[in-house]
Amino acid sequence: ASKYRAFPQVKLTDRQWPDNAITKPPIWMSTDLRDGNQALIEPMSAEKKLRFFEMLVQIGLKEIEVGFPSASQTDFDFVRKLVEENRIPDDVTIIVLTQSRDELIRRTVASAAGARRAIVHLYNSVAPVFRKVVFGMSREEITQIATSGTTLVKQLVAQHPETEWGFEYTPESFSTTELDFSKHICDAVSAIWKPTPHNKMIVNLPSTVECSTPNVYADQIEWMSRKLARRDSLIISVHPHNDRGTAVASAELAVMAGADRVEGCLFGNGERTGNVDLVTLAMNLYTQGVHPGLDFSDIDSVRKCVEECNQLPVHPRHPYAGDLVFTAFSGSHQDAIKKGFAQQQPGALWEVPYLPIDPADMGRSYDAVIRVNSQSGKGGMAYLLEQEYGLVLPRRLQIEFSRAVQAVADASGREIAATEIHDIFSREYFEQ
């Protein structure tokens, strides 16, 4: 049983409650090594990709998009290395992306042939602006690109029966495309692939550029989920980007609206403002009592690996993982947190104010929670003296001593570490 519970715990409306909630995790797909990688200033070397891949496996990802092999020799060689050196665990499926062009499809299938399980991910752009401005093509010509690509993938994978092949189709720029056309093209593709309830096909519906409020995207997903042909043979996937800063909300609402699967990157790497952040999504589920099936119990080592491979820092205020998210400077917050920790019983529901999650669940420590600067009251410094030095200060002394610490913090304008607080304490009370 989880020590977390879903919010809100009050009834908001007279309708059936809760109106909607995510009660089981979606299928997760990491596109760190593809969408994430293609957006890096310096794309990852094969060594970094392998390190990242192994970390994703460790976390529990079962679907990993490993590259765009027809677009990059590094990616092609990396996929071959994974296959030939048997680096892919039996329960992990690799995904290889391709545009819908014959020679690119051939190279993509060749890259993954021999893997135990692989998904060919075919995409073409379908939105009016692409049809008009980029390709100068009609709806039917765009549909023809998708269906002829699907036909070729089907023929080619049949030549490699040693691999268990899956198929994913993305109508790129879905969220800015007319819904009837998105349905038409996805139905045309699935009519060729012929998925079954036991051998489903993935239909991935991206907000390639996020351009609406999350409820609109969710409505689009719901419409597709209700209208697509062969729905029981499809896995509906979402791939939200973060251009409006609402990718996490978009993914959560989309799952409530019928999506089965989410594609994203750790800490929200990816094109422009990034893909949806899988860490935040997973931990949001965890803190409402639904285990995400991904293991972030040592978040610092995951973060270190991602920062080193991507050469991008994780923001100090990044949900769940930033340096400052289990920290309180303000006196009233510190006091409430301190009381919460003191009363929290092992295994009981989590009831520490201001902290949505037990830092220990992410491998972070309680000690880092309380920090002291000029905004802090007596509680923080008393807590640190007790935790670090076993010094329990009576309340009157706390009030008096906090003035001495605040004077130092005000004068320096900096944070005051536990050692410095102890030095001030010694100076004030033992060295006179």
Closest approach of Cβ 428 to ligand KIV, in Å? 59
Give 186 or 416: the residue with its C-beta nearer to ligand KIV. 186
Burial (CB count <10 Å: 0-12, 13-18, 19+), residue 295: middle
Q: Is 121 annotated as a binding residue?
A: no
* Count, residues near Zn ion per rule CB under 5 A: 1
170 binds, among Zn ion, ligand KIV, none (CB under 5 to 8 A by kind): ligand KIV
Q: Is 291 annotated as a binding residue?
A: no
Phi/psi at 371 (5° precision): -130, 155
172 binds, among Zn ion, ligand KIV, none (CB under 5 to 8 A by kind): ligand KIV
Give 276 or 357: the residue with its C-beta nearer to ligand KIV. 276
Contact 237, 269 (CB under 8 A): no
Q: Is 239 annotated as a binding residue?
A: yes
Q: Binding marks (x or -) toward Zn ion, 21..60, rule CB under 5 A? A: --------------x-------------------------
Closest approach of Cβ 126 to ligand KIV, in Å? 10
150 binds, among Zn ion, ligand KIV, none (CB under 5 to 8 A by kind): none
98 binds, among ligand KIV, Zn ion, none (CB under 5 to 8 A by kind): none
CA distances from 305 to 53, 79, 148 (A): 11, 20, 40
Question: Which residue ranges make up the site for ligand KIV (CB under 6 A)?
Answer: 35, 123, 170, 172, 204, 206, 208, 239, 241
Closest approach of Cβ 250 to Zn ion, in Å? 13
DSSP three-state, residue 372 = strand
**How many CA atoms within 13 Å lie on the side-chain side of 182?**
25
Give 35 or 335: the residue with its C-beta nearer to Zn ion. 35
Give 135 or 354: the residue with its C-beta nearer to ligand KIV. 135
Angle at 252 between CA 250 and CA 258, to 5 degrees: 100
Token representation of residue 421 = 């607080």
Closest approach of Cβ 48 to ligand KIV, in Å? 20
123 binds, among ligand KIV, Zn ion, none (CB under 5 to 8 A by kind): ligand KIV
What gap in Å lies between CA 193 and CA 176, rounded to an integer?
Answer: 25
Q: Which of 206, 164, 153, 232 is nearest to 31 (CA)?
A: 206
For 276-361, where are the alpha helices, taking DSSP H only?
278-286, 299-310, 331-343
Give 173 or 287: the residue with its C-beta nearer to ligand KIV. 173
Residue 36 has a CB neighbour count (10 Å cut-off) of 28
Phi/psi at 66 (5° precision): -95, -5
Give the burial string for 323-334 (b: 16+ CB within 10 Å, else e).
bebbbbbebebb
Q: Does 263 bind Zn ion (CB under 5 A)?
A: no
Q: Which of 61, 90, 21 is nearest to 296 (CA)?
A: 61
Burial (CB count <10 Å: 0-12, 13-18, 19+), residue 174: buried
- Which residues on adjacent β-strands are paired with residue 48? none
How distant is the alpha carbon of residue 368 from its chain centre? 24
Closest approach of Cβ 171 to ligand KIV, in Å? 9
Closest approach of Cβ 317 to Zn ion, in Å? 25
Q: Is 160 annotated as a binding residue?
A: no
Q: Does 63 bind Zn ion (CB under 5 A)?
A: no
Give 32 or 35: the residue with its C-beta nearer to ligand KIV. 35
Closest approach of Cβ 74 to ligand KIV, in Å? 18
175 binds, among Zn ion, ligand KIV, none (CB under 5 to 8 A by kind): none
For 15-138, where are the alpha helices, taking DSSP H only?
37-38, 46-59, 73-84, 102-112, 128-129
What gap in Å lies between CA 418 and CA 326, rounded to an integer?
Answer: 16
Closest approach of Cβ 278 to Zn ion, in Å? 13
Give 205 or 294: the residue with its C-beta nearer to ligand KIV. 205
Give 150 or 204: the residue with its C-beta nearer to ligand KIV. 204
| Chain residues in the site for Zn ion (CB under 5 A) | 35
Q: List the binding residues for Mg(2+).
A: 35, 239, 241, 275
Q: List the binding residues.
A: 35, 239, 241, 275
